[in-house]
């Protein structure tokens, strides 16, 4: 075996091993601790888990591209809230009154366009000013959230369209609409990252930006496209979720950015860019949702869940570092 | 004769699957400058890590004086008087010179306050010894690379050093700065310190060292007195064969002018630059660091906007606004800093090689992997790139093979003009001659090649014509018949021909 192979396979497979571990642990612990007599690994329960993973998962796919690129986007939670408001509020606008149910695709497109534009704005600022994406999106996170509160104060924005709710609650081949969107987005982004020139360039820019510039890659526009993609996906996540719930609070989506980043990092994407995989991110998303659900299953409350996920994230990063150091040591000749 | 300050006896260090050091023994006398030579991968770095306490030897011993010394870690090595001056600087740019020199050992007053006056005093004493033009309170980030290196050396002088190890100290120094460094080494020598001097540069080795020890593939090849040896014999010890560094001039017909530059200027960096490069010739650019050579290359590649003048490609005036633009016009740049500017180290060989043209190769929206592999295979064979396969990460290749990947990347796009900045920096002697041969072959095949180099033998070896630059200006352009080491040195030192050196 070549040096480094072991640590590499350990790393790429680690998230799935962790998921298996979670399943076993919660199944056994559930036998003793759970109040319900339903097994944890119940099929229905697993399908529900996939559906519940969708809001974070869809955004996490965008975050994977952005982070592989060597950037980060902290504004996704606020973008999520704005897109939700646009979706629900636009359906009540008088100019669309004559459309009947055709207002649904119009509202969807509107929300998605707003999301993509907010993302592109982040990217444009990063491109043209050269300011670090962390700072730019920290600013836009506050700014976008401000817009949310300006719109309706502390009041929720609500509009229930029953056709839309039916669509959102529908199931196809046993999977909920939200699950299909998550799987679809995962597949598309996987294709982009693994098979297209855009994906190849994303890795190159994240690994060595200067070399990418010297190879003639237009780094600024490339990064702007990625920010537009994550903005679009944040809006898509909102659209899928609020089609069903029909009411958005101005605080909704807060801390989403951190959950998303946690999932992406658990899935093996390097914070400094240049490495990461969409499949790994998918694993990270599932692992987190499993943990939340599992801890709930054995009777832990929300604060415990946060504590445990925080500890696991740090443990994973330490482990990752150890594996990296070992791999390097072997190559040092 | 006195005892050696440092003696290595049968040092063996193995890593899984590799015998990195295989019975290395030599000694360094007090007041001796001892060169350690070998190609990249010969085991020099590993040996230094053993000396520095980073690796423990599997067999063999280190003696300091007549005592056996075990270096359990870097701190212990330092405490025993072994000091390293690394090629790569490790300084805190935002801190002052004094803070950097005494980092971790700042003098203190009561309540843990820093004793600034003592700190400044001590630092200035050391700086005076080094005869440098800055003082203790200067911010390190404001210093030139050469002066930053002086700070590293000053740091070494704060401990009672018995052996000082210089690892490629002149890599980023100009000739004037080098001579200051050599003075410092002479002072250390006079104080009875033993010095190990690692360098690829033969001229320096023969100028300042007393003995030369050579490693090859982790094995100790022997130690010779510098006086009794010459470049050729040392090279032969290093690579096991002879190196050709004779002059070269093209014997084939030259083609049309591929690139012409007229009166090009860029602020204070360079001004009124005019030259032409024909198809089938190699034009060398020689000068001191900061003479403006790299900046001209960067302008031609669209990384810098010129403030005046014209660039003509195949006789037609062009404006080059970005690297993408330059590439589209057939200008390629093999940059100075291979790892920092040329390669994506985490990517595999194939992806690196096709990076600039992956967009042209695509099938629909997808990367055309088959076409990419075909290109990689073609240039691997043509440039003799030694790698297990295209999947190999570029970061794992040797410097010479990495450089060939960068060159192959551009050749596969059939450029009009190939600009190569420092083609063999940090590359071992064997690969060096391969790259030189390759550059000559490219000219013979009709490429217009610009080579920028800080190594005179290299420039003389590969160029048909040599442009000598000094302080942002072209002093003179030599044909290969005219150029000699003497008149080239005079030209790059700003001395007009005819004047005494």
The residue among B215, B344, B393 with the most chain A CBs within 10 A of its CB, best to mutate, is B344
pLDDT band at B41 (very low <50, low <70, confident <90, very high): low
Q: How many CB pairs under 8 A join A and B?
A: 86
With cut-offs at 50, 70 and 90, classify the pLDDT of residue A174: confident
SS3 A279: helix
Mutate which of A189, A207, A214, A218 to disrupt the B interface (most B C-beta within 10 Å)? A214
A149-155: list long-range contacts, CB under 8 Å, 24+ apart.
Answer: A149/A250, A151/A85, A151/A89, A151/A250, A152/A85, A152/A250, A153/A250, A154/A250, A155/A250
Report the distance separating Cα B272 and Cα A74, nearest Å: 49
What are the chain B neighbours of A211 within 8 Å (beta carbons)?
Answer: 340-344, 355
Domains contained in chain B, CATH given: 6-239 (3.40.50.300), 257-492 (3.40.50.300)
Residues constituting chain A: 333
Pairing of strands B33-37, B211-216: parallel
> A324 pLDDT band (50/70/90 cuts)?
low
- CB of A1 less than 8 A from some CB of B: no
pLDDT in tens, A84-142: 999 988 888 888 777 777 888 899 999 999 999 999 999 999 999 989 999 999 999 99
More confidently predicted of B249 and B64: B64
**Does residue B158 register a pLDDT over 60?**
yes
Residue among A210, A217, A333 whose CB faces B46 most closely: A333
Task: List all residues 6 or more positions away from B451 whose beta carbon is below 8 Å from its beta carbon.
Answer: B282, B283, B284, B285, B420, B423, B439, B458, B459, B462, B463
What is the Cα gyration radius of chain A? 21
User: Measured between CA atoms, how close is B16 to chain A, in angstroms?
Assistant: 7
- The residue of chain A with its CA nearest to that of B358 is A197
What per-residue confidence (pLDDT) applies to A331? 39
Q: Strand order in B417-421's β-sheet?
A: B331-334, B417-421, B448-453, B282-287, B465-470, B473-479
CA distance B239 to B217: 10
Neighbours of B392 (CB within 10 A): 17
Query: Å from A198 to nearest chain B CA?
Result: 9
pLDDT in tens, B396-425: 888 888 989 999 999 998 898 999 998 888
Say if the Cβ atoms of B365 and A196 lie within 8 Å. Answer: yes
Q: Give me the residue from A195, A207, A210 closest to B347, CB to CB.
A: A207
**Residue B416 contacts residue B314 (beta carbons within 8 Å):** yes
Nearest residue of chain A to residue B322 (CA atoms): A216
Per residue in A3-56, pLDDT (tens digit) is 444 455 555 677 888 888 888 888 888 777 766 667 777 788 888 899 999 999
Instruction: Say how many Å lie between the first and final Cα of chain A, rounded.
Output: 17
User: Angle of helix A256-266 relative to helix A76-90, nearest 10 degrees?
Assistant: 130
Q: Kindly state whether A208 is in contact with chain B, defined as any CB-CB distance less than 8 angstroms.
A: yes
Q: What number of residues does chain B have?
A: 501
C-alpha to C-alpha distances, B408 to B20, B273, B328, B402, B405, nearest whole angstrom? 30, 29, 17, 10, 5
Mean of pLDDT values over B249-256: 76
Nearest-CA distance from A211 to chain B in Å?
A: 4
Q: What are phi and psi of B328, to 5 degrees?
A: -60, -30
Closest chain A residue by Cα to residue B409: A215
Per-residue pLDDT reduced to its tens digit, B193-252: 999 998 877 788 888 999 999 988 788 888 999 988 887 788 778 776 555 566 666 667
Which residues from A are below 8 Å from B328, CB to CB?
Answer: 216
Beta-carbon separation of A207 and B366 below 8 A:
no
Q: Which residues of B touch A331 (CB under 8 A)?
A: 396
* Closest CA in chain A for residue B327: A216
Q: Are A207 and A273 in contact (CB under 8 A)?
A: yes
Judging contacts by C-beta atoms under 8 Å, the chain B residues touching residue A213 are 303, 323
Cα separation, A126 vs A120, whole angstroms: 10
Q: How far off is chain A from B143, nearest CA to CA, in Å?
A: 24
Is residue A278 pLDDT above 60, yes or no? yes
What are the two backbone dihedrals, phi and then psi, of residue B488, each rounded to the nearest 5 degrees? -70, -45
Identify how many contiguous H helices and E strands chain B contains and give both numbers: 17, 20
Q: Are B172 and B146 in contact (CB under 8 A)?
A: yes
- pLDDT of A3: 44
Are the beta carbons of A208 and B345 separated by less than 8 Å?
Answer: yes
Contact B296, B273 (CB under 8 A): yes
Q: Where does residue A217 fall: left (phi above 0), alpha (psi -120 to 50 degrees), or beta otherwise? A: beta
* pLDDT score at B144: 79
The pLDDT assigned to A225 comes to: 96
Q: Is the ipTM of this complex over 0.85?
A: no
Place of tokens 């040392």: B234
pLDDT at A2: 45
Does any CB of chain B come closer than 8 Å to the CB of residue A244?
no
- What is the C-alpha to C-alpha distance for residues B70 and B90, in angstroms, rounded to an integer? 25
| Residue B354 near residue B409, CB atoms below 8 Å | yes
Rounded distance between C-alpha atoms, residue A71 and residue A197, angstroms: 19
- Find, in chain A, the residue whose alpha carbon is nearest to that of B330: A216
- DSSP run (H or E) holding B13: strand B6-15
Instruction: Flag whether pLDDT at A328 surpasses 70.
Output: no
- Is A333–B366 a contact, with Cβ atoms under 8 angstroms apart? no
Report the C-alpha gap between A294 and A287 in whole angstroms: 10
Task: Tell me the nearest-neighbour CA distance from A214 into chain B, angstroms.
Answer: 6
What's the rounded Cα separation, in Å, for the pair B211 and B194? 12
Check CB contact under 8 Å for B344 and A212: yes
- CB count in 10 Å sphere of residue A301: 9
Query: For position A204, what pLDDT does the model report?
Result: 92
Alpha carbons B92 and B143: distance in angstroms, whole number: 12
- The answer for residues whose C-beta is within 8 angstroms of residue B492's C-beta and 6 or more apart is B286, B287, B288, B291, B468, B469, B470, B475
- Out of A203, A213, A330, whose CB is closest to B347? A203
Considering only CB atoms, B356 lies closest to which of A3, A196, A215, namely A215
CA-CA distance, B283 to B258, in Å (whole number)? 12
Q: Kindly report, residue by residue over B67-86, the tens digit of the pLDDT.
A: 888 888 888 888 888 888 87
Parallel, antiparallel or unpaired: strands B163-167 and B194-198: parallel
Instruction: Give B342's contacts in chain A (Cβ within 8 Å).
Output: 211, 214
Res A307 pLDDT > 70: yes
Structure-derived torsion over alpha carbons of residues B368, B369, B371, B377, reported in degrees to the nearest 10 = 160
The pLDDT, as a whole number, for residue B322 is 92
Coil vs helix vs strand at B142: helix
- C-alpha–C-alpha distance, residues B475 and B468, integer Å: 6
Please state, in angstroms and rounded to a whole number, the distance separating the CA atoms of residues B107 and A144.
50
Q: What is the pLDDT of residues A48-77, one digit of tens each?
A: 899 999 999 999 999 999 999 999 999 999
* Closest Cα in chain A to B18: A333
Residues A162 and A246: beta-carbon distance below 8 Å: no
Of B327, B335, B367, Cβ closest to residue A197? B367
Instruction: Decide which of B495 and B142 is more confident.
Output: B142
Mean pLDDT across the stretch B266-292? 89
Residue-wise pLDDT tens digits, A216-267: 899 999 999 999 999 999 999 999 998 888 888 888 988 899 999 999 998 8
Three-state DSSP at B310 gives strand
* B18 pLDDT above the threshold of 80: no
Lowest mean pLDDT across B26-30, B218-222, B348-352: B218-222
What's the pLDDT band for A329 if we cut at 50, 70, 90? Answer: very low
Using a CB–CB cut-off of 8 Å, the residues of B that contact A are 15-18, 20, 41, 46, 301, 303, 322-324, 326-328, 333, 335, 340-347, 351, 355-356, 358-359, 362, 365-367, 396, 409
Interchain contact, A216 vs B326, CB within 8 Å = yes
Instruction: Look at B366 and A217 and tell me if their CB atoms are within 8 Å.
Output: no
> If you average pLDDT over each of A279-288, B37-46, B153-162, B284-293, which comes out highest?
A279-288
C-beta separation of A213 from A219 below 8 A: yes
- The pLDDT score that the predictor gives to residue A10 is 54
Asked if A196 lies within 8 A of B344 by C-beta distance, the reply is no
Secondary structure element (H or E) that encloses residue A295, with its range: helix A278-297
Q: Which residues of A touch B297 (CB under 8 A)?
A: none
pLDDT in tens, A180-192: 999 999 999 999 9
The answer to whether A201 faces chain B, any CB pair under 8 Å, is: yes
């Amino acid at each position: 075996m070549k040096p480094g192979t072991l640590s590499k396979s350990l790393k790429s497979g680690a998230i799935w091993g962790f998921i298996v571990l979670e399943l076993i642990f919660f199944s056994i612990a559930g036998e003793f601790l759970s109040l319900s007599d339903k097994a944890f690994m119940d099929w229905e329960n697993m399908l529900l888990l996939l559906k519940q993973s969708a809001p974070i998962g869809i955004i996490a796919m965008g975050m994977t591209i952005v982070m592989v690129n060597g950037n980060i986007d902290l504004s996704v939670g606020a973008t999520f809230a704005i897109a939700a408001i646009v979706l629900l509020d636009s359906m009540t606008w008088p100019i669309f009154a004559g459309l009947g149910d055709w207002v649904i695709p119009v509202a969807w497109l509107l929300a998605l366009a707003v999301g993509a534009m907010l993302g592109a704005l982040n990217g444009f600022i990063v491109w043209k000013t050269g300011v670090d994406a962390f700072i730019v999106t920290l600013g836009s996170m506050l700014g976008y959230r401000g817009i949310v509160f300006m719109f309706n104060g502390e009041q929720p924005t609500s509009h229930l369209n029953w056709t839309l709710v039916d669509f959102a609650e529908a199931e196809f081949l046993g999977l909920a609409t939200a699950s299909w969107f998550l799987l679809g987005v995962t597949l598309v982004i996987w294709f982009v990252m693994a098979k297209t020139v855009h994906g190849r360039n994303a890795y190159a820019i994240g690994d060595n930006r200067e070399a990418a510039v010297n190879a003639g890659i237009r780094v600024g526009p490339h990064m702007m496209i990625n920010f537009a993609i994550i903005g679009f996906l944040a809006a898509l996540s909102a659209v899928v979720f609020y089609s069903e719930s029909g009411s958005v609070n101005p605080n909704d989506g807060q801390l989403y950015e951190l959950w998303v980043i946690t999932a992406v990092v658990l899935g093996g994407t390097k914070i400094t860019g240049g490495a990461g995989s969409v499949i790994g991110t998918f694993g990270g998303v599932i692992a987190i949702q499993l943990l939340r659900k599992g801890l709930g299953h054995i009777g832990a409350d929300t604060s415990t869940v946060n504590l445990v996920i925080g500890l696991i994230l740090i443990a994973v990063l330490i482990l990752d570092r150890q594996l990296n150091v070992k791999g390097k040591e072997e190559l040092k000749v | 004769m006195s005892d050696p300050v440092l003696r290595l006896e049968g040092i063996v260090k193995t890593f899984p699957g590799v015998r990195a050091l295989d019975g290395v023994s030599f000694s360094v006398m007090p007041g001796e400058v001892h060169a350690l030579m070998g190609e990249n991968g010969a085991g020099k770095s590993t040996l230094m890590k053993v000396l520095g306490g980073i690796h423990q030897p599997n067999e063999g011993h280190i003696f300091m004086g007549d005592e056996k010394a075990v270096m359990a870690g870097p701190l212990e090595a330092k405490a025993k008087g072994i000091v390293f001056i690394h090629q790569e600087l490790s300084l805190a740019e935002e801190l002052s010179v004094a803070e950097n020199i005494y980092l971790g050992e700042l003098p203190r007053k009561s309540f843990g306050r820093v004793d600034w006056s003592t700190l400044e005093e001590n630092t200035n004493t050391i700086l005076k010894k080094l005869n440098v033009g800055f003082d203790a309170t200067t911010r390190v980030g404001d210093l030139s690379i050469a002066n930053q290196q002086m700070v590293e050396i000053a740091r070494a002088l704060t401990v009672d050093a018995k052996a000082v190890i210089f690892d490629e100290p002149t890599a980023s120094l100009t000739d004037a700065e080098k001579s200051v460094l050599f003075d410092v080494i002479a002072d250390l020598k006079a104080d009875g310190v033993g010095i190990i001097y690692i360098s690829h540069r033969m001229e320096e080795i023969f100028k300042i060292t007393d003995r030369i020890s050579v490693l090859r593939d982790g094995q100790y090849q022997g130690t010779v007195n510098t006086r009794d040896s010459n470049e050729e014999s040392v090279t032969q010890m290093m690579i096991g064969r002879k190196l050709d560094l004779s002059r070269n001039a093209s014997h084939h017909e030259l083609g049309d002018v591929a690139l012409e530059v007229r009166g090009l200027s860029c602020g204070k960096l360079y001004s009124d630059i005019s030259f032409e490069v024909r198809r089938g010739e190699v034009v060398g650019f020689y000068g001191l660091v900061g003479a403006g050579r790299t900046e001209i290359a960067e302008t031609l590649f669209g990384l810098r906007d010129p403030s005046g003048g014209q660039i003509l490609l195949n006789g037609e005036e062009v404006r080059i606004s970005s690297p993408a633009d330059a590439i589209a016009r057939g200008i390629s740049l093999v940059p100075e800093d291979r790892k920092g500017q040329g390669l994506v180290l985490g990517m595999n060989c194939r992806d690196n090689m096709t990076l600039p043209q992956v967009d042209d190769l695509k099938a629909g929206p997808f990367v055309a992997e088959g076409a990419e592999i075909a290109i990689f295979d073609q240039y691997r064979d043509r440039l003799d790139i030694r790698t297990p396969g295209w999947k190999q990460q570029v970061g794992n290749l040797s410097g010479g093979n990495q450089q060939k990947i960068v060159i192959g990347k551009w050749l596969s796009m059939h450029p009009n003009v190939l600009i190569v900045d420092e083609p063999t920096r940090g590359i071992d002697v064997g690969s060096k001659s391969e790259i030189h041969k390759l550059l000559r072959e490219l000219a013979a095949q009709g490429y217009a090649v610009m080579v920028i180099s800080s190594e005179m033998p290299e420039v003389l070896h590969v160029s048909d014509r040599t442009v000598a630059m000094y302080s942002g200006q072209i002093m003179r352009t030599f044909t290969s018949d005219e150029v000699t080491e003497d008149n080239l040195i005079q030209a790059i030192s700003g001395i007009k021909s005819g004047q005494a050196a």
